[in-house]
Structure 1
Amino acid sequence: MLDQLSDIVEAAGAAIEIPGQILLTPIVRNWRVHWGATEEEATKRLPGDDFVPEPKWSYTHAIDIKASAEKIWPWIAQIGQGRGGFYSYEMLENAIGCDIHNADKILPEYQNLKIGDTITLHPKNQPLQVAKLVPNKLLVLCGHNEDGSIVESTWGFYLIDNPNGGTRLIVRGRYQYGDNFLSNVLLGPGLLEPVNFVMSRKMMDGIKNLAEKQPDATMTKIQIIR
């Protein structure tokens, strides 16, 4: 009961923060798109950037996790709607019909991720496709246009050893889309970026908490396809 109440309070707080982020975009945008990231991390070329070489907007977020990459990877490998969820504000996601159920344990049936697999964000939306994958190191998902001919977005997860111990989780998104009014409104930085920031920050905190709370988490053997 207390956990459910806490989830409601957190979701309500996020729902209030999103409009504030939208209104404050001119002031907070630079901080928002580089949340947690060093200048070097924010500007460094990462695998998968070439899929959207000249994005209209992008972000790079980062967080320290007191766990090895091997302990963090299983939570990333099972991410997705109908899989392990996104470890974010489940109530807000489900309010728009995402049907998300965040896992609190490693799910072996979703660990054999491979290039070409699809990850769904919303049951009615076109899924993302696994474009790059190196277990314990990186996962890059690509979103295509309706006919699948053009990559319009990337969502990358990168695990990098932290010199101070533990691991740096870097999450990067890059977006390119048409010039029509609707695309600019729905996919542009004015709306999608603030929403994405609030949800992404919670997701990264969720992965951090799960990985740090279960230091003995194990994973099944993952097939590497390059």
Structure 2
Amino acid sequence: MGFGRCAVVGAALVGAYAAWYRLGLASGSTTAERRGTLRGDELITGPSLVTNHAGDLPAPPEVVWPWLTQVGWHRAGWYTPRWVDRLLFPDNRASADRLDPGLVRDLRPGDTIPDGPPGTAEFVVEIADPPHLLVLHSRSHLPPGWASKFGAQLDWVWTFSLAANDRGGTRLLIRNRGCVRPPWLDLGYRAAIVPADHIMATGMLRGLARRVGRASRLDDEP
């Protein structure tokens, strides 16, 4: 392959990555949503990474909320496509397609949601305001040993904001705010996690839309 062709291919790859990165920062969200302040933002001041993803779900917030309360590792999953789980999280089970009375929870601040085997990653509930706001917080999503070996830190807030839309459904905004140290790790996380977040967040939004839509249709049947 000649230099000119290599340059064209390289430019195309850089352009594709840049577009994917932008989607990872803000797919589906409006300027107003990205600029707006949510409760829980104050948990991380001066974040090095912020993403906002949004979509409309075909059911009101009170119908969507229980689906969020049953999420987690070896619980209902995260409603992402199965191929995503197999690729990124091979130990995950397939996400649940229905509400499970044994998994639906009355979430309270201080409750934990597992995101891996016991003793690894988990989220702590900071705010649970059904059916409008769920704020999760983690300092545990680092590879084992990195904190002691490299002085690595990852402080992460994951927020789900639900608002009724004008079609009787829900506008769901998913926001990530993170602070990563040291700088080299922050750069690596932003390079890898931001594009991946587009896949995860949009997959979750679509998965939730499909599930709550189907559940609403079944409830409407005589």
Same-fold status (TM-score > 0.5)? yes
What does residue 8 of structure 2 align with?
none
**Structure 2 unaligned blocks of 5 or more:** 1-11, 141-146
Aligned pair partner of 1:40 in 32, 40, 49: 32
**Helix, strand or coil: the match of 2:210?**
helix
What does residue 214 of structure 1 align with?
215
Report the residue type matching 1:120 in the other structure: P
Q: 2: CA distance between counterparts of 1:82 and 1:119?
A: 10
What does residue 63 of structure 2 align with?
71
Contact residue 141 and residue 156 of structure 1 kept, 8 A: yes
Residue deviations 1:102-146 (CA, integer Å, cap 9, x gap): 111101122222221111222263211111101111111101156
Q: Which has the larger radius of gyration?
A: 2
What does residue 122 of structure 1 align with?
116
Change (3 A) 1:137 1:151: farther
What does residue 206 of structure 2 align with?
205
Report the residue type matching 2:162 in the other structure: L
What does residue 91 of structure 2 align with?
98
Of residues 162-171 and 204-213 in structure 1, the stretch that sits farther from structure 2 once superposed is: 162-171
What does residue 160 of structure 1 align with?
163
The normalised TM-score by structure 1 is 0.77
Q: 1: CA distance between counterparts of 2:135 and 2:174?
A: 10
Of residues 123-132 and 206-215 in structure 1, the stretch that sits farther from structure 2 once superposed is: 123-132
**Helix, strand or coil: the match of 1:177?**
strand
Report the residue type matching 1:77 in the other structure: T
- Counting aligned pairs with the same residue, the percent is 26
How many residues are treated as equivalent by the alignment?
195
Q: 1: CA distance between counterparts of 2:183 and 2:120?
A: 19
Contact residue 106 and residue 217 of structure 1 kept, 8 A: no
Backbone CA RMSD of aligned residues: 2.6
Contact residue 81 and residue 207 of structure 2 kept, 8 A: no
**Displacement over 4 Å in runs of 4+:** 20-23
Of residues 160-169 and 170-179 in structure 1, the stretch that sits farther from structure 2 once superposed is: 160-169
Contact residue 132 and residue 162 of structure 2 kept, 8 A: yes
Q: 2: CA distance between counterparts of 1:94 and 1:32?
A: 20
**Helix, strand or coil: the match of 2:159?**
strand
What does residue 17 of structure 1 align with?
none
**Helix, strand or coil: the match of 1:209?**
helix
Change (3 A) 1:34 1:183: closer
Change (3 A) 1:156 1:22: farther
The normalised TM-score by structure 2 is 0.78
Cα offset, 1:207, TM superposition? 0.4
Contact residue 20 and residue 195 of structure 2 kept, 8 A: no
Aligned pair partner of 2:179 in 158, 165, 176: 176
Cα offset, 1:92, TM superposition? 3.4
Residue deviations 1:13-45 (CA, integer Å, cap 9, x gap): xxxxxxx99873334433431111111011100
**Helix, strand or coil: the match of 1:36?**
coil
Report the residue type matching 1:204 in the other structure: L
Contact residue 140 and residue 157 of structure 1 kept, 8 A: yes
What does residue 7 of structure 1 align with?
none
Q: 2: CA distance between counterparts of 1:198 and 1:126?
A: 20
Contact residue 134 and residue 160 of structure 2 kept, 8 A: yes
Aligned pair partner of 1:61 in 53, 67, 89: 53
